[in-house]
């Protein structure tokens, strides 16, 4: 989701160890100056998905938690068609 909105991977780095350090410290190197490019809802959605603690992360309480996020306010989930379903 981060890459779709910002056009960059959230924890990108040249070295694998640096990527892992970025993940553990939640150092998101591409958000600087980019939050103006997306809505507040989109920014909150991505940040809540990237929360380090699983218990605090969006979606920990189930799919309804994600579907009810303000980012999806205009989505009518009952009208969506899923391939293969």
Q: What is the pLDDT of residue 66?
A: 96
Distance between CA atoms of 74 and 62, rounded to whole angstroms? Answer: 20
Q: What is the pLDDT of residue 74?
A: 94
Q: What is the pLDDT of residue 80?
A: 87
Query: Which CATH code, of 1.10.1740.10, 3.30.1490.20, 1.10.510.10, 3.30.1300.30, is assigned to 2-77?
Result: 1.10.510.10
For 8, residues 6+ apart whose C-beta sits below 8 A from its C-beta are 2, 29, 30
Q: For the range 17-25, what are the long-range contacts, defined as Cβ-Cβ under 8 Å and sequence gap of 24 or more?
A: 24/52
Q: What is the pLDDT of residue 59?
A: 96
The stretches in the chain having pLDDT less than 70 are 29-35, 83-85
pTM of the model: 0.73
């Amino acid at each position: 989701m981060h890459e779709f909105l910002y056009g960059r991977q959230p924890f990108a780095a040249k070295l694998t160890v640096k990527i892992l350090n970025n993940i553990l410290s939640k150092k998101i190197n591409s958000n600087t100056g980019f939050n103006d490019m997306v809505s507040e809802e989109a920014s909150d959605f991505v940040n809540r998905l990237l929360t380090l603690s699983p218990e605090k992360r969006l979606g920990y309480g189930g799919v309804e938690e994600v579907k009810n996020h303000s980012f999806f306010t205009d989505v009518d989930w009952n009208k969506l068609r899923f391939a293969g379903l």
